Amino acid sequence: MTGVDVLSQFMSGLTTAMIYFLIAAGLTLILGVLKIMNFAQGGIYMLGAYTTYSFVKLFGGTDAGFWLTLLIAPTVVAAFFCLLEVFLLRWFYEKPALYILLMTYGILIVTYDLARMLWGWIILTAPMPPMFQQPLEIFGLVFPLYNAFLIVMGFFVFSLIWFIIHKTKLGKTMRAAADDREMTAALGINVPWVFTGVFGLGAWIAAIGGALVAPMAGMAADMGVEAGIIAFVVVVIAGLGSLPGALLASFLVGEVQAFGILILPEFAIAFTYLVMVVVLIIRPWGLFGKPVVIK
């Protein structure tokens, strides 16, 4: 095994890490601010992928069409889920947590059948845009250009969200609403709309994750199930509600997976969960999580 092979495996792990991050980041955001475990997150990811397929096909599989699709498709999906949040989820914020969990799970099941209704039973894939069909060569390593693009987009999304949360007034409002809902409302801020905004943002991240994966994978209506599990595992490792945690956790899981299968390919199926078990033993609240204080 040469240095180039190790670098190659590292870069593959990074690709996996970024996909996991995009799926998980939205979940952790919604969890942190709205304090709800959004079971529908995998479904949003899946609809993002399918919508991207339709738009890419609409624009004829061109490069320009792809950029347009990346702008439009996740926004459409996020807007749709914002509507769902306003009409379905808002009623349940004040109620016991179980209602919202059931509601998001119900939405997940509906998205599955919605996908089947709109796109049918057959497997689909979005064509790879022509500009990405050449591989990249760095230090003698061949690396797909699209993977590099995906990694860059992952960092971009992370930076964008981090900037919104920590450097804008909107972000300050979100953090305030997350910490103390009643006080924020007492200050005259329209908390329900902040919540809708956060939900929409979380949905947008998942949708763009699906959009970016669409040209590099086959799509089935149940791809959201697998994604949902991954998102959950990553969020647990990260510490509930932590965005930098989600990035680190995704990176950890991605690289352990990548190098694990080089050494012990028999256990490929187990590595993600192994990381979760080890982290939870060492830090039960996740890498960046805060211990829960029982008042």
Partner 1 sequence: MKSSQGRGGWKSFGWFLILGIGIFVFCSSQGNAAPPPIKIGVVQSISGMVSEFGLDDVEGFKAKIEEINAKGGVKTKEGLRKIEIIVRDDKLKPDIAVQNAKSLIFEEKCDFLVGGISSACALALSQWAKENKVLYWVWDARADDVTGSKGHPYVFRSSGNTWMNGHAAGSYFKDKPYTKWAYIHPDYAYGREQATAFSKAMKAMKPGFTVVTEQWPKLGTTDYTPYITALMTAKPEIVYTSLWGTDAMTFIKQAKGYGFFSKIKVVGLFWGMPLLRPMGQEMVEGVYVLSEAPFDYPGSPENKAFYDNYQAKMGRFPSDYSVLGYNAGSFIVAGIEKAGTVATEALISALEGISVKTIAPSKIISIRKCDHQSDYGIAVGVTVKDPKWPWFVLKDITTIPGPPTMPSCEQILAERAAAK
Q: Is 142 in the site for partner 1 (CB under 8 A)?
A: yes
Which amino acid appears at position 34 of this protein?
L
For the segment 13-52, give every residue that binds partner 1 (CB under 8 A). 13, 15-16, 19
Span of 29-37, 70-78, 94-102, 132-140 interacting with partner 1 by CB under 8 A: 132-140
As measured in angstroms, the least distance from the Cβ of 142 to partner 1 is 6
> What is the closest distance, in whole angstroms, from the C-beta atom of residue 254 to partner 1 in the complex?
8
CB of 41 to partner 1, least distance (A): 14
Contact with partner 1 (CB under 8 A) among 125, 171, 191, 283: 125
Indicate which single residue of 78, 221, 237, 248 sits in contact with partner 1 (rule: CB under 8 A). Answer: 221
Compute the C-alpha angle 19/154/67, nearest 5°: 100
- Nearest distance in Å: CB 167, partner 1: 31
Q: Which is nearer to partner 1, 71 or 262 (CB)?
A: 262
CB closer to partner 1 out of 49 and 78:
49
Per-residue tokens: 164: 């919104």
Binding mask 169-208 for partner 1 (x = CB under 8 A): ----------------------------------------
263 by Cβ neighbours in 10 Å (0-12 / 13-18 / 19+) ranks as: exposed
Positions in 268-287 near partner 1 (CB under 8 A): 268-269
226 binds partner 1 (CB under 8 A): yes
Using the rule CB under 8 A, is 139 a contact of partner 1?
no
User: Contact between 110 and partner 1 (CB under 8 A)?
Assistant: no
In degrees, rounded to 5, the angle at the alpha carbon of residue 25 between the alpha carbons of residues 290 and 145 is: 140
Figure out which of the listed residues 110, 145, 153, 185 binds partner 1, where binding follows CB under 8 A: 145
First-residue to last-residue Cα distance in the chain: 54
User: Do 272 and 257 contact (CB within 8 A), yes or no?
Assistant: yes
Query: Taking CB under 8 A as the rule, does residue 94 contact partner 1?
Result: no
Nearer to partner 1, 117 or 281 (CB): 117
Nearest to 153 by CA among 76, 215, 228, 225: 215
Site of interaction with partner 1 (CB under 8 A):
1, 5, 8-9, 11-13, 15-16, 19, 116, 121-125, 127-128, 132-133, 135, 142-147, 213, 215-223, 225-227, 230, 254, 257-258, 261-262, 265-266, 268-269
